[in-house]
Chains A and B, each alone.
Chain A
Amino acid sequence: MPVMDHPPAIRTDQLTRTYRLPRKRWGKSPPADGPAAFTALDGVTLEVRPGELFGLLGPNGAGKTTLIKILTTLLAPSSGTARVDGLDVVREADAIRPRINMVSGGESSGYGVLNVRENLWLFARIYGVSTRTAYDRIGAMLDVVGLADKATARVSHLSTGQRQKMNFCRGFITDPKILFLDEPTLGLDVTSARAIRGFVREWMAERPERTLLLTTHYMAEADELCDRLAIIDRGKVLACDTPANLKKRVQKHTIFELSLAPGRNGWADLGKLPGVHQSTANETPTTVEVKVLLEEEPVIGSVVQKLVTSGGHILSLKKVEPTLEDVFIELVGHGLGGDKPADRPSGGGP
């Protein structure tokens, strides 16, 4: 639970980061009409309280990793400010580093010639953790992620998932005050991901002053773990609140999920129907999964009628509670998996 009467663990104010695009080489230059720079973060203002487990939700390229890199002192902001544990990431980077650590899922690091325990020991030592403490923590962490039997295996002989688990352990063995987890369960099997989520909750509960910033693609993971969430897209924060409050945003609408037989029979135009706030569809080889947000529950009749008269074949229909995904779609216009937005009239309805 967040500690309320302390300065923010993380605070950003109008944080912006732009990247210059590649320069000319061997007479080849980027297209003249193309942009000279790319904006990864655009005026991000956020505050994470000490003790909070804060989530960042956003599609690929939204700017989540750029934000984490700035907060972990790896990247300089182009403008705006960022403070971690009250310290400025540009001027006081040296003071920030002993307090933080980061785990970036899906990336491999370490030395192939060393075994798992030695790699973790090395990264503990550069934080000044004594060898004895490091070995104790390494043992405990390897048990958590189910990698104890691989402690003496060379990293070059590990699978991708096992490397990722080792990487996860690396973030915790220095006992950071503020931890950044960037997609920590990416590519892990269900059991391992569940164990990691469980451990993250326990780790946060152990000491109230610990803060964790998590980015994830998995809505359920964010919903389950995070005290508060920011939804970010194209470098901008679109919303920031508790999962419950965010869901309330779409609770004014009634949500139905329909499963249709394949084919483009009417579902693409559902967003144009009076009373339909939003409609998204995800086509699979065997079905079309349609989700509609309605101004009022009886509008479902018009939806069904439209589908039937257009030749659509409804396989199932159910009313559902709003999820973070619905919030995400409401704000971003599409799902994380790239669900297509259906056409809707300007102004959002009749």
Chain B
Amino acid sequence: MAARTKHDWADDEDIEETTNDLPPPQKIQNKDGSTTIIEYRYNENGQKVKTTRRIRYITHREVVSPLVAERKTWAKFGASAKDPPGPASDTTSVGENIIFRPSVNWKKEAKDESKDPNAQAMKDKLKDKKVKCRICNGEHFTARCPYKDTMAPIGETAPADVAAGLGDEAPGAAGPGKKGSYIPPALRAGARPEGDRLGGKYGERDDMATLRVTNVSELAEESELREMFERFGRVTRVFLAKDRETGLAKGFAFISFADRADAVRACQKMDGFGFKHLILRVEFAKKAQ
């Protein structure tokens, strides 16, 4: 009855009812010396939960020197004088479990793990995602592809030489292999009329043979762009738009070639090229209106 008067009106009323119809906890001595304890309780959803625990008590005998045994019987003193036998909860507690396994290549393991909490979270997220290179279909990021400098991504128009290169490295990659891999709409073969993309190329063309590169990474540098485009011919000018305050790239750049033919080739090859985790879009610059 005393318990009932203490019961606060704000408490969940179910508690009292539910505790009534729970079967009493059972203790069963098993033949093998262990004890099974069965307990019932309600979880927060009001469902009945049966907990079965099998416990085996193991008496651990340790032979200690008589000195140690004697010291265990010493009376407590000082600030602990009034403490009951056994560890006092205010001074002694048990910490969380620490897994400590010495290992020779400890540093390597720990580095992978502790590099960055974000990296770890990302790793967990991508754990069951397959990484697929857009250049050679291998299991690595496109940016890490050994062929990234020599080949264009496969989803692209795939000029003859690229296709030939692919044949060696990843047979069938161009066919059913790439089925199911996501291709951004901008890169889909039929998604965009050829004329649109290359509109500037043949129609209102720029005498300067200047390419407009968009979707450039914030971290890109002019020198990097120059290096990439110089493979196709002499580059006369590289302009990378940068934010005046932060110094980060704004995401687009202009590359001028000395020779128009080079520019055409560069445009073909570099459109859709993966650079710093972004896919470049390369087209001929339109004349200012």
A binds B: no
